[in-house]
């Protein structure tokens, strides 16, 4: 019985039991840093103490020496099969280090799986998947053959809609930086040029412009914009100059600092957010302000509304997109029993279900609730809750049906009635223009019989109006 080499490429003309060749460089660091999955039995590395023991050749004999049976047998999960005459080396499946990660999945905690030819696979080692994964020979990690959506499909489900701002073709960060510098240099400011550039670039492209501006002119573009602009136009332009997670983290801070709390802002940011976005906002908030966003929100809210927001901050919503009809039915009965089916309300049941179930699950849940009770779940929430907790739970249910519908309502609330809620208007336009603002516009005209751009034009003015209309795709 022969054994695999102690590290990749360990086969040599000398064969097993012979000293390894001198490589011409110090291999101690290379050997000590080798991944553990490449050593199925003990190996040693050269050092000064080994030179004393073995003389001029610091390598010990390869284990096991000829004629000796080693107690260390290759483990079945080491990621390769023993080298035998019936399994030529040319057919040995490749091994890859644990850092070679299959896109979208957590790093491996051991060697990559290998399927032995002719050996039946485990019937179902992955409980979530209906079939065993096949081997991906290009990466050494399994490709899941199942009904689960891929990561890009999950992202599409999370953010289903059409944007109004897309990557600018022929983008040149240096040219844009020069155009902005020219627009602000000397007396007066060319606001039209600023709108022309910044409203037609994505957030990533605007970050490139920031860096190019600093590199070419040695100045901070954001500071220059602040010094040249004012009012809501300045606020909207500066909102464009931050990465999405940073901008939303700053909006959370603005909502809870000082006297009073802007509860609607907190709900708007947390209720529709996918898990990865909420995690990014929380991380960015901590970097900016040195404290947990969850703690900041908890200290500024109370009661069931606080519990809902804290639950949403965890970012633990199921996002696999596969629903179980039996679980949907059980949740519908559970919410009825926790609300309309009893005296009083079991608030924790509503919070737990609405903060953790997938939006697809919640969409089906609303349909199932109507079948069971003859009433809309939103109506049940309205009858069992009031105030901010009612608004928060209703927002989650609306987002489960359609995020564009939710944001169409938010935009209408911002620009209808007396006065304009400019911060909310800016936030909705800026935060959704690269995601689904074109779809939101379609919902808006269907729900209110007017184009979103027309309502914006009627409720705003000047360069501020021109910028918002440009971000809407006009």
The answer on 392 and 330 residing in a single domain is: yes
The pLDDT tens digits of the residues spanning 24-41 come to 444 444 444 444 444 444
- In 3D, which of 291, 277, 365, 372 has the Cα closest to residue 328? 365
Helix H or strand E encompassing 6: none
Report the alpha-carbon distance of residue 113 to residue 143 in Å, rounded: 11
Rounded CA separation 52/232 (Å): 77
Beta carbons within 8 Å of 30's beta carbon, 6+ residues apart: none
| Bridge partners of residue 143, in order along the sequence | 134
DSSP string for 6-40: SSTT---TT-TTSPPPP-SS--HHHHHTS-GGG-S
Report the alpha-carbon distance of residue 189 to residue 319 in Å, rounded: 47
Find out whether 78 and 37 touch, Cβ atoms under 8 Å. Answer: yes
pLDDT of residue 160: 66
Whole-model pTM above 0.85?
no
Residue 40: inside a domain, yes or no?
yes
Start-to-end C-alpha separation, the chain: 74
pLDDT over 90 at 45, yes or no: no
- The residue among 201, 229, 257 that closes a domain is 229
Instruction: Specify if 84 maps to a domain.
Output: no
The mean pLDDT of 161-184, rounded to a whole number, is 97
CA–CA separation, 454 vs 427, rounded Å?
18
Cα gap 161→423, rounded to integer Å: 23
Same domain, 424 and 387: no
- Please check whether residues 390 and 416 belong to one and the same domain: no
341 and 289 share a domain?
Answer: no
Residue 333 covered by a domain: yes
Structure confidence by residue, pLDDT tens digits, 348-398 = 999 999 999 999 999 999 999 999 999 999 999 999 999 999 999 999 999
Same domain, 338 and 288: no
Residue 54, pLDDT above cutoff 80: no
Number of domains present in the structure of the chain: 5
Instruction: Kindly state whether residue 289 falls inside one of the protein's structural domains.
Output: yes
What pLDDT does residue 258 have?
81
Q: Has residue 467 been placed in a domain? A: yes
166 in a structural domain: no
User: CA of 390: how far to CAs of 379, 412, 432, 444, in Å?
Assistant: 10, 19, 24, 23
**1 and 63 housed in the same domain:** yes
Shared domain check, 339 and 307: no
Residue 442 and residue 408 share a domain: yes
Residue 59: give the domain boundaries: 1-70
Residue 67's pLDDT band, with cuts at 50, 70 and 90, is low
CATH number at residue 274: 1.10.220.10
Residue 94 is assigned to a structural domain of this protein = no
* Summary mean pLDDT of the chain: 78
pLDDT, residue 320, reads: 80
Last residue of a domain, one of 313, 333, 352: 313
Q: Which of 30, 55, 70 is the last residue of a domain?
A: 70
408 and 464 part of one domain: yes
Same domain, 333 and 397: yes
Mean pLDDT calculated for residue range 209-223 = 98
For residues 330 and 395, membership in a common domain is answered with: yes
Tell me: the pLDDT tens digits for 223-247? 999 999 999 999 999 999 999 999 9
- Do the domain assignments include residue 369? yes
Per the CB < 8 A criterion, the answer to whether 212 and 221 are in contact is no
Omega before 64 cis (within 30°)? yes
Hey, CA dihedral for 378, 382, 383, 385, is it positive or negative?
positive
* Closest by CA position to 411, among listed 396, 389, 426: 426
Examine the domain organization and report whether 423 and 390 are in the same domain: no
């Amino acid at each position: 019985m022969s054994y695999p080499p102690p590290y990749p490429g360990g086969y040599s003309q000398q064969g097993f039991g012979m000293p390894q060749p001198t490589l011409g460089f110090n291999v101690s660091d290379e050997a000590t840093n080798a991944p553990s999955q490449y050593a199925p039995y003990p190996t040693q590395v050269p050092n000064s103490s080994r030179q004393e023991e073995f003389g001029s050749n610091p390598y010990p004999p390869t284990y096991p020496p000829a004629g000796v049976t080693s107690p260390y047998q290759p483990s079945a999960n080491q990621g390769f099969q023993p080298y035998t005459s019936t399994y030529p080396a040319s057919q040995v499946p490749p091994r890859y280090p644990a850092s070679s990660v299959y896109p979208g999945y957590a790093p491996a905690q051991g060697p990559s799986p290998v399927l032995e030819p002719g050996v039946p696979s485990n019937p179902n080692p992955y409980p979530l998947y209906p079939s065993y994964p096949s081997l991906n020979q290009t990466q050494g990690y399994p490709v899941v053959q199942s009904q689960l959506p891929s990561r890009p499909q999950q992202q599409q489900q999370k953010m289903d809609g059409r944007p109004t701002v897309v990557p600018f073709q022929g983008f040149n960060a240096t040219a844009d930086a020069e155009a902005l510098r020219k627009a602000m240099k000397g007396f007066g400011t060319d606001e039209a040029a600023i709108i022309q550039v910044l409203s037609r670039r994505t957030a990533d492209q605007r970050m490139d412009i920031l860096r190019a501006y600093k590199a070419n002119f040695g100045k901070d573009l954001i500071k220059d914009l602040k010094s040249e602009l004012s009012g809501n136009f300045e606020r909207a332009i500066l909102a464009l100059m931050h990465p999405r997670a940073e901008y939303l983290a700053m909006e959370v801070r603005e909502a809870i600092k000082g006297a009073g709390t802007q509860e609607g802002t907190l709900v708007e940011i947390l209720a529709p957010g996918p898990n990865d976005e909420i995690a990014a906002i929380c991380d960015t908030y901590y970097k900016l302000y040195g404290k947990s966003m969850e703690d900041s929100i908890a200290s500024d809210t109370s009661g069931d509304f606080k519990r809902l927001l804290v639950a949403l901050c965890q970012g633990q919503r199921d996002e696999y997109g596969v629903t179980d009809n039996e679980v949907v039915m059980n949740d519908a009965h559970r919410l009825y029993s926790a609300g309309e089916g009893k005296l009083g309300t079991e608030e924790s049941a509503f919070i737990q279900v609405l903060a953790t179930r997938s939006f697809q699950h919640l969409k089906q849940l609303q349909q199932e609730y109507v079948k069971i009770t003859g009433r809309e779940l939103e109506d049940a929430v309205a009858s069992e809750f009031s105030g901010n907790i009612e608004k928060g739970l209703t927002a989650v249910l609306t987002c489960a049906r359609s995020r564009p519908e939710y944001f169409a309502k938010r935009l209408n609330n911002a620009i209808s009635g007396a006065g304009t809620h400019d911060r909310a208007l800016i936030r909705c336009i800026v935060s959704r223009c690269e995601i689904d603002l074109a779809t939101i516009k379609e919902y808006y005209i269907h729900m209110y019989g007017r184009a979103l751009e027309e309502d914006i034009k009627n409720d705003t003015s000047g360069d501020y109006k021109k910028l918002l209309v440009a971000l809407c795709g006009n």
